[in-house]
């Protein structure tokens, strides 16, 4: 069966138009938290502010109102593919990362990502996150 949906659960998407009823503007980036098939294709999206504390939800968002963020999708694919190594780094940073909750490590542009440690020291944020487990 061919899956023709525009987005899938946990995809990162960007709004292509304002959603004033939710206080969201074109360009806002969110995560697909639910996919609906009936009565038509639509999505429930979650949006988190820069501090990571405030969430907004938008439901019944239509496919034409979003674009899938292919860079985020590539980053998720990269991280999934390199789970065995459990380490990654940016060619433009002095540190490597090993904690998937690390904001710094998760915001590396896909073209700068490399698997492994690169002979670099562990990121402070990763070290703190690891210690709090």
Tell me phi and psi for residue 35, to 5 degrees: -120, 130
What is the per-residue pLDDT across 72-122, written as a single tens digit (0 to 9) for each?
555 555 555 444 447 888 889 999 998 888 889 888 887 778 878 888 999
State which H helix or E strand residue 115 sits in.
strand 113-115
Tell me phi and psi for residue 55, to 5 degrees: -110, 145
This prediction's pTM: 0.54
Q: Is the predicted pLDDT of residue 36 greater than 90, yes or no?
A: yes
- The pLDDT-based confidence of 54 (bands split at 50, 70, 90) is low
Closest Cα partner for 67 from 12, 27, 14? 14
Six token digits for residue 88: 């990654």
């Amino acid at each position: 069966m061919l899956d023709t949906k525009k987005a899938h659960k946990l995809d990162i998407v960007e709004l292509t138009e304002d959603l004033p009823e939710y206080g969201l503007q074109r360009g806002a980036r969110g995560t697909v938290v639910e996919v609906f098939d009936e009565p038509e294709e639509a999505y429930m999206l979650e949006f988190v502010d820069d501090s990571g504390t405030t969430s907004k939800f938008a439901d019944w968002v239509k496919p034409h109102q979003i674009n899938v963020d292919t860079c985020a999708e590539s980053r998720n694919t990269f991280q999934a593919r390199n789970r065995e190594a459990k380490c990654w780094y940016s060619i433009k940073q002095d540190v490597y990362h090993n904690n998937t909750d690390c904001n710094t490590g998760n915001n590396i542009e896909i073209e700068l990502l490399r698997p492994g440690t690169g002979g670099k020291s562990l990121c402070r944020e990763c070290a703190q996150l690891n210690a709090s487990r």
